[in-house]
Structure 1
Amino acid sequence: MKKILLNGVDGNFGQKAAKVLLEKWPHEDLIFTAPTEKGLEMYKDVDVEKRVADFNDSEGLVKAFEGVDTMILISMPFVGPKRRAAQKTALDAAVKAKVNRLVYTSIVGAGEKDIDTYEVNDHVWFEAYVKEQPIHYLFLRDSQYAEAMVSNYVNAYENTNNVLANNMGEGLMAYISRDDCALACACAAMSDWQDRVVDVNGPEQLTIGQYIQIANEVTGHDVKYVEINDEQQYEFFDSIGVPRTTEDMWAQTATNFPFCSDGMVTFGRAIRLGQMSTFTNDFEELTGQKPMTVKEMFEDMENHLIGSRTSTND
């Protein structure tokens, strides 16, 4: 069996992908990494090889990636030059270590010619860089996490008088659960697929208004969608203390706000412009099962909130 290395097993997404791999792949052929020994402590009783992969230590990374066939790289939680530098360092080390294939969690919209968003631009850049290297790849272009909008919906009826306002308008998104994205990631690593893009989409395309209608039917609440423009969206995020970028104080505020306003505003704009409406059956082809519906997630709402985002970038 081929050796699969999963980076970032200490993060939310990484833990979910690790669980799938532990259930489906021989443990002797798994390697789990985290940036520090502390990040590996939760796996101390799990019979897989564990290595520290510090993305600030390029020489150490080469050693950490030795003997690996397929490496999973979960995109960094910070955005901009730090993300690009960290991921470039990891990829360069993988190439030096002669890793055969990279599985990378990208994002919906990364293939759009005119896309220009704070979040997506990094993925576009990194995908292009990967293609220049002597390594096989799978790019998993995940749709928006439905959990993010579940949390926004809860906030609407708890804190904003049953109003959910944003700048998505009538744009379509095939919302998908983070659990399904992690499943797809693990299945991609276990597959023989290579040198292709996999669109990880949910089972239905919805406007945000349709999304809220489903939520209301399941929960009995009466949340209403109000479309606002981009500047109004910025003003709202400013009013509740959301940082504009992932620089400066973002790491300290990530527990309360696991996003930045530049990311959310430009993301919403791209949805409104139809740049993130990709809708395929790649998920079912890859995993052999159907993705969860928005209705199913609201029926189990407590287990489908977005949660805290890992913001470690040291």
Structure 2
Amino acid sequence: MSKVGVFPASGGLGGSTVQHLLPLVPASNLVFIARNPDKLAAESRQGAVVRRADYDDPSTLERVFEGIGALFLISYASCEHEHRSKAHRIAIDAAIRSGVKHIFYSSLAFGGNLRKESEALVMQAHLDTEAYLDELARSPAHPNFTYTVIREGLYSESFPIYTAFFDPAAPVDEIKIPHDGSGPGVAWVKRDELGEATAKIIATYVHNPLAFPYLNKTLLLTGPKVLTLAEVVGILGKIIGKSDIKIKKVSVDEYTAQPQNPANLTYHGEDLSKKWATAWPAIANGECSVVTPLLRDTLGREPEDVETTLRKLLA
């Protein structure tokens, strides 16, 4: 059995995948890589190898993937385009030089039913990375390299970024975004169930690479039902006991002028609020409204519904 690496392994999706991998793959075959290895002390005590690397310090990537056969590469945490694409490419190149044979890549569920285009800025680096992995797998220079892209559904827990950072602890009456809240909606999904399904897919490969059905494929993991932004806001209002919360469609300029947006959407000193606003036309065009059975089939049960997830989150 080849060793499995996860990088970065201490974030939301990475941490969830790590916890679900531990019962499926012997800890001695797991290598968890993070910017802050101290966050993985418990996993180290269980027998996993823990290493340090940082997307923003390419020198740390040069040998960190040595001894790893299959790598789960989680995307750089930002909605930037060029910087993310470059960071992903550097990590992929370092992994291949170190002998990694298969890369699982966490993409995002914009782009509808696996289309190779999207209106959303946040999807552009993912599309670049998907294309680069496919290019490498087709290259005669890398005859033994394969990949699996997993387009992870939009997290139910990520509702703040789609609702102008609505705060249930200090609720406003009006959520001002460049979208009217109507359909098409989003096939929302619980983040931990994405981590669980991703871990099961990785474990399937590790236990029998030759029979793995998703070599050089792109997968789409979604929730079981599409809900509009207005329906999600209605659920939030129901949970916190405030039934009069409304979505007001505003211009992109009015959206970005709200102070909470630059405060939460500034990366490397650049306010990306206006670029992030490209997510709403993508949602309006149905890019996030595709439902697939793969999550349910991989989990072996019905995925958790949005209201249940949000009630637990806000309890």
The alpha carbon displacement at 1:119 in A equals: 0.6
Where structure 2 has 5 or more consecutive residues not aligned to the other structure, the ranges are 138-144, 205-211
CA RMSD of aligned residues (A): 2.8
| CA gap 1:35/1:302 in 2 versus in 1, 3 angstroms | same
Which residue of structure 2 lines up, in the alignment, with residue 271 of structure 1?
283
**Separation in 2 of the partners of 1:204 and 1:153?**
23
Counterparts of residues 291-306 of structure 1 (less than 5 Å)? 291-302=303-314
Does residue 199 of structure 2 align to residue 189 of structure 1? Answer: no
Q: 1:105: which partner in 2? A: 106
Aligned to 1:234: 255
Q: Following TM superposition, by how much is the alpha carbon of 1:286 offset from its aligned partner in structure 2, in angstroms?
A: 2.5
Report the counterpart of residue 87 of structure 2 in structure 1. 86
Cα distance change of structure 1 residues 239 and 97 upon mapping to structure 2, 3 Å threshold: closer
Farther-moved stretch of structure 1 (150-159 vs 173-182): 150-159
- Who is 1:139 aligned against? 149
Measured against aligned partners, the alpha-carbon deviations of 1:188-212 in whole angstroms (never above 9, x if no partner) come to 2112332212111111101111222
C-alpha distance in structure 1 between counterparts of 2:248 and 2:26, whole Å: 49
Alignment of 1:2-13 (within 5 A): 2-13=2-13
Q: Partners of 1:71 and 1:241 in 2: how far apart?
A: 34
Deviation of 1:24 (Å): 2.3
- Within the candidate set 302, 305, 308, 1:290 is matched to 302
| Of 207, 221, 228, the match for 1:200 | 221
Paired positions, count: 294
Assess, with a 3 A threshold, how the Cα gap between structure 1 residues 207 and 56 changes in structure 2: closer, same or farther.
Answer: closer
Report the counterpart of residue 26 of structure 2 in structure 1. 26
Q: Give the TM-score taking structure 1 as reference length.
A: 0.82
2:178 to 162, 167, 175: 167
Note if contact 2:166-2:172 (Cα within 8 Å) is conserved in structure 1: no
Percent identity over the alignment is 22
Is the Cα–Cα contact under 8 Å of residues 256 and 273 in structure 2 kept in the other structure?
A: no
Q: Distance in 2 between matches of 1:295 and 1:131?
A: 37
Distance 1:233 1:176, change over 3 A: farther
Indicate the residue corresponding to 1:124 in structure 2.
127
Q: How far has the Cα of 1:113 moved from its partner? A: 5.1
Distance, in Å, in 2 between the alignment partners of 1:201 and 1:223 is 29
Change (3 A) 1:240 1:65: closer
Alpha-carbon spacing, 1:28–1:113, altered in 2? closer, same or farther (3 Å): closer
Instruction: Say whether the 8 Å CA contact 1:230–1:265 is kept in structure 2.
Output: no
Q: Deviations over 1:165-195 (max 9, x none)?
A: 3233323110111112222221221123322
Secondary structure of 2:63's partner? helix
2:192 matched residue in structure 1 = 179
**In 2, are the aligned partners of 1:9 and 1:33 still within 8 Å (CA)?**
yes
Moved more, 151-160 or 90-99: 151-160
Q: Deviations over 1:252-301 (max 9, x none)?
A: xxxxxxxx423531112210122222211111222323221112113313
Q: How many angstroms does 1:56 deviate by?
A: 5.6
Aligned 8 A contact 2:6 2:14 in 1? yes
Q: Normalising by structure 2, what TM-score?
A: 0.82
Answer yes or no: is the 8 Å Cα contact 1:150–1:301 preserved in 2. Answer: no
